[in-house]
Amino acid sequence: MKMNMKKTLMWMMLMLTGTATLSAQTAADTTQHEVVMETTMGTIVLRLYNDTPLHRDNFLDRVRTGYYNGCTFQRVIRNFMIQAGNPQARQVSAGDTVQYDVERRVPAEIRYPAHYHRRGQLCAAREGDDTNPEFASSSHDFYITWGRNFSPRQMEYYADQLRREGRAYVIPDSVMQQNYIKYGGVPHLDGGYTVFGEVIEGLDVVDRIQQTPVDHDHGDRPLEDVVILRATIRK
């Protein structure tokens, strides 16, 4: 019994050491990883953030295995965002509803205000707050923000609304407000979803995709599939 206990303790120590080593390796990755996503409407290049290592590594793993090759943008909402990655979309015809698929979750890495939902941000989709109060992310579904441009008055009204709701902690600072005014975005998602990268090339492609006609009665699915032909790691 004592020998078994000793072996068990040694095994646990090895496991803990290995886990710590992996965590250190993940945190130590300082490469500015970029992913090239070729779609039927053009090419989008994404840069991943290193301060969201769980999401970065999960996304890179998906790309390495070719998971996104052949996936469609199954949910597109004009002046809001484009969403892709649901495996069920492969079996559903264009225009039909795609049910949200829950495989495994990635713990939230919300780095607000460092990262927020200005236009062209790469973010992780997730289930709603009622079933997912910890804001954990889907391991496959992602979205790219588009949003709309706000006027200074609209930003002031939005800040007042957040104060009334007791959410003053997500009021955009002056720099964020100027970006939402000049470039656009989706500020009401700030603080609730993990932002783990950004578009560095191909924002015009995102614009074309977000304007594609959709079937609003079937989950905002494009009437013609917008397909990710291939996703590769550039560096």
Would you say the C-alpha torsion 113, 125, 142, 214 has a positive or negative sign?
negative
Kindly indicate the confidence band of residue 104, based on its pLDDT and cuts at 50, 70 and 90. confident
Report the distance separating Cα 107 and Cα 132, nearest Å: 11
End-to-end Cα separation, the chain, in angstroms: 51
Two structure tokens written together for 59? 């996304």
Q: Are 235 and 32 in contact (CB under 8 A)?
A: yes
Two structure tokens written together for 26? 């993940």
Q: Which helix (H) or strand (E) segment is 196 a member of?
A: strand 195-201
Q: Are 106 and 119 in contact (CB under 8 A)?
A: no
pLDDT of residue 11: 38
Q: Whole-model pTM?
A: 0.84
Q: What is the pLDDT of residues 170-219, one digit of tens each?
A: 999 999 999 999 999 999 999 999 999 999 999 999 999 999 999 999 89
3-state SS assignment for residue 111: coil
- Mean pLDDT, residues 88-108: 65
Q: Which residue has the higher pLDDT, 235 or 15?
A: 235
All domains of the chain, ordered by start, with CATH? 33-148+184-233 (2.40.100.10)
